[in-house]
A and B are shown apart, each in its own frame.
Chain A
Amino acid sequence: MFLPIILWTDALIFVLLAVIAAFAFYARQHEHLRAPWRRVAQTPAAVSAAVVLLAFVAVGFLDSLHFRQAIEPAGNAEAKRPAGAATAYAPEVKSVLDVALAHLSSRTERTYSAPLATHAYAKETMEVPGRGQVRDYPRLRNGGAHLKDAETEWGWDILLTVFKGMGLALFAWSIAAFLLLIAVKPTAPAYASIGAFSDAVWRGKTVVPWRTVLITLGLIFLIVVPATLLARGYHVLGTDKVGQDVLFLSLKSIRTALVIGTLTTLVMLPFAVLFGIMAGYFCGWIDDIIQYLYTTLNSIPGVLLIAAAVLVLQVQMEASPELFPTTAQRADFRLLFLCIILGVTSWTGLCRLLRGEALKLRELEYVQAAQAFGVSHWNIMLRHILPNVMHIVLISVVMDFSGLVLAEAVLSYVGVGVDPSMISFGTMINAARLEMGREPMVWWSLASAFMFMLVLVLAANLFADAVRDAFDPRVRVSPRNRHMAEAAAA
């Protein structure tokens, strides 16, 4: 009844997940790779951040499973459709998240409304039976529509729903905690029974800080469950100018942010690694060419290169509309292009680091021994140099993520970010930046976008810090790739 659609970025996300899974499987079997990850897992801030990040990734993943729904012909479908005829599919590409949040996206208002409001944000002239024309705040179409007498019932209804949600959250959390404890008990064989283990967790004595995991999980439950219950009757974070639910927009933005943060690195990684290692290993004219290449690209201010490239792309896409049958595919292509061009501007930092490291490694005895044995250059680079620079690659990947998420917002503000039809934190902020000047002030769109971004980026930063400390406390990855975020602030 539906046709699965794999957009370009979806495909790359699946590739990325496969790579991560393969790497995890590989790392499990090698002690030298497992040890630093164990150190990450023992940092309370890092595991807490990881739980939050996983929640974001789950939302983003659901939003990456795209499909097109089949259209049922009107009337008696079975009779009208000839046997074997192709099913018609809706032109709109939806994701699993869209379906799960259908009740949020479909219930729109006419314009702004405050979080949890039952009445519109501005007065309107209405016809009231018996009183003629009245200027008052009209009731919302969907916000609190289940209340008969909104003024008196509103407060109690919300309070009751929140309490109900909290109760439900605690219940769900205790089940989740129980299952988690049973699942992770085999990793701690030192404890005789599950009781002794949970006692140690309760007192925070376990090696991996499971208590932190449970507390973080509990906080997420305490926020998510009441919000879900409230969202059935209200707009939890209000609505924007065209009446769309802000909570829905914020949740949809997560995928865009994650795609920009991860795929950019995935796209640029092969070039950075290959060129960096080649430059450092071969030296001589190859080194000169690669150095020239990255210095030249680096000389063009990042934002301007991105702006120029996106402007050119816009013109090209206008010229050939037949390549993109649906708006989703068009927006997706532009997102992918943005990732690629961001990658082009940000691979130079990693490339330089890798070159420096490869320069050092090629002088070491084991590389010289391999050369003496007649191992080919490719094999030396692949087997002897690459594994020894992987920690730099990993550190720079996790460090870049947060900078890229912040850069997306800035680029979308400048007008060279994602497609205007694509929901992202940048487009949300861009649409809302004049709302602070309104009277009364509309603060909820901006506040929601900034809050979601803050939580995501803060978690990413904390996690990245732990990874860096665990893998190599001496490697200094300079904050070069934050230049776009900084340019925005400066």
Chain B
Amino acid sequence: MTAYIVRRCLYAVLILIGVNLITFWLFFKVNTPDDMARMQLGAKRVTAEAITRWKAEHGYDKPLIFNAEAAGMSRMTDTLYFQKSLEMFRFNFGQSDDGRDISHEIQTRMWPSLALALPVFLIGLAAYISFALLMAFFRATYIDFWGVVLCIAMMSISGLFYIIGGQYLVAKIWSLVPISGYAPGIDAAKFLFLPVLIGIIGGIGSSARWYRTIFLEEVSRDYVRTARAKGLAETTVFFRHVLKNAMIPILTGAVVAIPLLFMGSLISESFFGIPGLGSYTIEAIQAQDFGVVRSMVFIGSVLYILGLLLTDISYTLVDPRVRFE
């Protein structure tokens, strides 16, 4: 099993290199530093000197992959690929266009993101599983039918509607919580209440319905029939046997999202003015700050790959049927 995990880790590194190459191609080859300079300097009639100066200031005045003018090792190291792309593996992201250190920004903004995403994830998971459990337990009754109808209706509503509607109703009409903003420490709770609630409501439709199908699939298995044939009560069958087995795909499926919780969520952070990584990304996109977008793409990929690794490991832990080849 150790060999299996080591192999998965090596594969993860390979994928990360692929991601790195794709982002490099997109941000330096398709979109050259000259384009970037012209974009930042604004007008179409930018002089060549201005572009050269901008590139020198921001460290983009190097060849892409191979520096023929340098000597020795710096032929490879004094290039854009090495300085801007490979450095990301050391979590050294350089500076954003307004001169701030991106790594430092990420370290400070990570925590508000987590403070929003973690409760949504944990409470949400519990809520979705309970709702799915309710529908599956009363399967083929009116509770089940209307539950599914509710799920489909809630899936069909745009996530933006939940946010705008929730802000209007809870914050503006009822004045229960502030409309937006953030405070560090324990004060954050009153700012986070509404976004967490909306985050949970927004995901309930698709998740609860998805978990319901998992429960129903498990209910139709042979071991359930055996348990019923033994004379066990339906509640015992459901909560002792079905629930336990259905939790395997549900929990291992949820593991992949855990590292991504650090990334926060783009939309609700920007709507609620929470200074997390999601709103950082949106600001960067709107300001066309390629350095920040590139860093966020890289971090997002690292976290996702980490999630895949955790999924693999959790499968081997909970499901003895997984083979290691």
Q: A residues engaging B (CB < 8 A)?
A: 292, 295-301, 303-305, 307-309, 311-312, 314-316, 318-319, 402, 406, 409-410, 413-416, 425, 429, 433, 436-437, 446, 450, 453-454, 457-458, 461-462, 465, 476, 478-479, 482, 485-490
Please indicate the chain B residues that have their CB under 8 angstroms from the CB of A458 in the complex.
Answer: 152-153, 156
Most buried by B among A315, A436, A446: A315
Q: Is B210 an interface residue (CB 8 A)?
A: yes
B48 to chain A, nearest CB (A): 15
Please indicate the chain A residues that have their CB under 8 angstroms from the CB of B217 in the complex.
Answer: 476
Please indicate the chain A residues that have their CB under 8 angstroms from the CB of B39 in the complex.
Answer: 315, 318
Q: Which listed segment binds A: B52-60, B71-79, B100-108, B300-308?
A: B300-308
B159 to chain A, nearest CB (A): 3
A451 to chain B, nearest CB (A): 10
Please indicate the chain A residues that have their CB under 8 angstroms from the CB of B117 in the complex.
Answer: 490
Please indicate the chain A residues that have their CB under 8 angstroms from the CB of B290 in the complex.
Answer: 311
Q: Which residue of A lies closest to B155 (CB)?
A: A461
CB within 8 Å of A: which B1-36 residues: 14-16, 18-19, 22-23, 26-27, 30-31, 35-36
Q: Is B158 an interface residue (CB 8 A)?
A: yes
Alpha-carbon separation in the docked complex, A316 to B300 (Å) = 25
Given contacts A301-B301, A461-B155, A486-B203, contact A413 B285 (CB under 8 A): no
Alpha-carbon separation in the docked complex, A209 to B281 (Å) = 50
A157 to chain B, nearest CB (A): 32
Can you list 24 A-B pairs, Cβ within 8 angstroms, ordered by A? A297-B22, A298-B304, A299-B308, A300-B22, A300-B301, A301-B297, A303-B266, A307-B285, A308-B27, A308-B293, A308-B294, A308-B297, A311-B285, A318-B38, A402-B155, A410-B159, A429-B160, A436-B167, A458-B156, A479-B206, A482-B206, A489-B198, A489-B203, A490-B120
B contacts with A: majority SS: helix
B147 to chain A, nearest CB (A): 14
Contact of A312 among B30, B206, B266 (CB under 8 A): B30
Alpha-carbon separation in the docked complex, A414 to B269 (Å) = 12
Contact of A461 among B22, B152, B162, B285 (CB under 8 A): B152
Please indicate the chain B residues that have their CB under 8 angstroms from the CB of A297 in the complex.
Answer: 22
Structural contact, A490 and B202, CB atoms closer than 8 A:
yes
B302 to chain A, nearest CB (A): 9
Structural contact, B159 and A485, CB atoms closer than 8 A:
yes
Structural contact, A319 and B38, CB atoms closer than 8 A:
yes
A contacts with B: majority SS: helix
A413 to chain B, nearest CB (A): 6
Please indicate the chain A residues that have their CB under 8 angstroms from the CB of B285 in the complex.
Answer: 307, 311, 414-416
CB within 8 Å of A: which B230-283 residues: 260, 263, 265-268, 281-282
Q: Is B225 an interface residue (CB 8 A)?
A: no
8 nearest A-B residue pairs (beta carbon): A489-B202, A489-B159, A488-B159, A296-B18, A301-B300, A458-B156, A457-B156, A312-B31
Q: Is B228 an interface residue (CB 8 A)?
A: no
Structural contact, B206 and A292, CB atoms closer than 8 A:
no
Contact of A304 among B30, B31, B152, B296 (CB under 8 A): B296
Q: Is B47 an interface residue (CB 8 A)?
A: no
Please indicate the chain A residues that have their CB under 8 angstroms from the CB of B223 in the complex.
Answer: none
Given contacts A299-B305, A311-B293, A316-B31, contact A292 B14 (CB under 8 A): yes
Contact of B35 among A315, A413, A415, A476 (CB under 8 A): A315
Given contacts A308-B293, A312-B26, contact A414 B266 (CB under 8 A): yes
Interface string of B189-210 (1 = CB under 8 A from A): 0000000001101110011001
Structural contact, B267 and A304, CB atoms closer than 8 A:
no
Please indicate the chain B residues that have their CB under 8 angstroms from the CB of A487 in the complex.
Answer: 265-267
Structural contact, B263 and A301, CB atoms closer than 8 A:
yes
Q: Is B213 an interface residue (CB 8 A)?
A: yes
Q: Is B168 an interface residue (CB 8 A)?
A: yes
Q: Which residue of B lies closest to A416 (CB)?
A: B285
Q: Which residue of A lies closest to B30 (CB)?
A: A312
Please indicate the chain B residues that have their CB under 8 angstroms from the CB of A301 in the complex.
Answer: 260, 263, 297, 300-301, 304
CB within 8 Å of A: which B142-198 residues: 152-153, 155-164, 167-168, 172, 198
A86 to chain B, nearest CB (A): 31
Interface string of B103-137 (1 = CB under 8 A from A): 00000000000000100100010000000000000
Alpha-carbon separation in the docked complex, A410 to B157 (Å) = 12
Alpha-carbon separation in the docked complex, A304 to B263 (Å) = 11
Please indicate the chain A residues that have their CB under 8 angstroms from the CB of B16 in the complex.
Answer: 299
Contact of A316 among B35, B152, B168, B199 (CB under 8 A): B35
Structural contact, B281 and A304, CB atoms closer than 8 A:
yes
Alpha-carbon separation in the docked complex, A319 to B37 (Å) = 12
